[in-house]
Amino acid sequence: MIYDEFEKLSDQKHGRTIKSVIGMSRSKFDFLAKAFAAALLAVQQERRTNKAIKQIPSGGPKGNLDTPEKKLFFTLLYLKTYPTFDMLGFLFGFSSGHAHNHLEKLLPVLTKSLSSLGMLPARTPGTPEEFSQVIESYGNIVIDGLESACVRPQDKELQEARYSGKKKRHTLKALAVTTLNRKILFLFCFVAGSVHDYTLMKMIFDKNSPWFYKAKVWLDLGFHGASDYYGNESKINLPHKKPRKSKSNPEPKLTEAQLKHNRQHARTRVIVEHAIGGMKSFHCLTHRIRNHLDSIIDSLFLLPAGLWNLKIS
C-alpha cells in the first residue's frame, strides 16, 4: 500500500517528496501523529458514551487504515493533493464510497488533534474585550479575504450567491486575521464568493464596539473607508488611494511621501499573503472545491490554517 512506501522515506533524503505528499516534514508528521492517536481514542470513547458504538474497536479483521498513523496519512494526503474519491480509494485499496466515509469520520479527528495542540485559529471574535486582549499581545494584525473556487452549484439561488464575477468563477470566501509572524489567529467561516471582503468584515465586526483600539490593523485598499467606519480611535492602517481624474486634476498622482508610505504599508501587509499562500499549499484550497457538504467544506478552510500554524511553529 502507499503508506508502506511512505514509511521508508526520511526527511534527510526525501524531504521534498514527503512535503509534496502530506504538506509537512516527517518530523512534524510524527509529532502530529501522537496527538491524532489521542484524539481518535477520545472520539471513539465519546461515541461509546453516546451509544453510537457498543465498544471501542480492538480485534477483528484489520482494514487498510488499521493504525492512527495510516489514518492521519490518508487525511493529510487528501488535503494536500485533493484527489477525487475514486483516486483516493484506488490508492488505498477500497471503493470511492468507503474513501468518502473514512474522510468524513477522520476530518473531525484531525480538527480535534490540532485543537489540542493549540494550532487551530479561532472561528469567532468573541466579545470586543476578548478580541482586543488577544490582538493586544501581538501589537499588529493583518486582515484579508481568502477566496477559493468551487464547482458551479445546481441550485439557482446558491449559484447566483457564489458567482464572484472574477474570471467568471463561482467561489467561496473566508476572512483571515494573521500576526506579523504569519500565524493565523482567526479564520471566520466561509461565505458565498459574491460577498465583498469589506462587507464580510462589517458583518463580523460591529462598528459600535471597540474592536481595533488595542493593536494596529493593516488592510489593503479593498477595505477603503474602514478607518472612518470604525471611528478615529481605531488603529486602522490603509494605503493612500490615488485621486480620481477630474477636470481640475487631469493627471492625478500620489505625492512622493504617499508613495513611500504605500511601499512600507505593502511590506508590512504582505505577511497575510504569505500566510494565505501557506494555507493554499494544501491543494484542497487551490483546486476547485468539489465537495458539497458544508461540514467538509468548512474543514477544507479550517484544517489548512491549523496545519500551516503547525508548520511554522
DSSP, residue by residue, the chain:
-HHHHHHT--HHHHHHHHHHHHSS-HHHHHHHHHHHHHHHHHHHHHHHHTTSSSS---SS---TT-SHHHHHHHHHHHHHH---HHHHHHHHTS-HHHHHHHHHHHHHHHHHHHHHTT-SPBSS--SHHHHHHHHHTTSEEEEEEEEEEEPPPSSHHHHHHHB--GGG-EEEEEEEEEETTS-EEEEEEEEETTS-HHHHHHHHS-TTS--SSSSEEE--GGGTTHHHHT-TTS-EE-PPPPPPP-SS-SS----HHHHHHHHHHHHHHHHHHHHHHHHTTSTTTTSPB----HHHHHHHHHHHHHHHHHHH-
Predicted confidence at residue 163, as pLDDT, reads 92
- Evaluate if residue 229 carries a pLDDT over 80: yes
- Evaluate if residue 39 carries a pLDDT over 90: yes
Q: Quick one: pLDDT band at residue 244, thresholds 50, 70, 90?
A: confident
Tell me the residue length of the chain.
313
Query: What is the arithmetic mean of pLDDT over 215-223?
Result: 92
- Evaluate if residue 182 carries a pLDDT over 70: yes
Predicted confidence at residue 249, as pLDDT, reads 79
Q: Which tens digits make up the pLDDT trace of 70-103?
A: 999 999 999 999 999 999 999 999 999 999 999 9
Q: Quick one: pLDDT band at residue 202, thresholds 50, 70, 90?
A: very high
- Each domain of the chain, given as residue ranges in start order, spans 2-116, 128-312
Q: Quick one: pLDDT band at residue 243, thresholds 50, 70, 90?
A: confident
Q: Quick one: pLDDT band at residue 183, thresholds 50, 70, 90?
A: very high
- Evaluate if residue 251 carries a pLDDT over 90: no
- Evaluate if residue 60 carries a pLDDT over 70: no
Residue among 120, 27, 116, 29 nearest 69 (CA): 29
Mean pLDDT, the chain, rounded, equals: 91
Predicted confidence at residue 152, as pLDDT, reads 92
- Evaluate if residue 55 carries a pLDDT over 80: no
Q: Quick one: pLDDT band at residue 52, thresholds 50, 70, 90?
A: confident
249 against 82, higher pLDDT: 82
pTM for the full predicted model? 0.91
47 against 144, higher pLDDT: 144
Q: Which tens digits make up the pLDDT trace of 254-311?
A: 889 999 999 999 999 999 999 999 999 999 999 999 999 999 999 999 999 999 999 9
Query: What is the arithmetic mean of pLDDT over 171-191?
Result: 93
- Evaluate if residue 54 carries a pLDDT over 80: no
Decide if 43 contacts 36 (C-beta within 8 A). no
Predicted confidence at residue 59, as pLDDT, reads 64
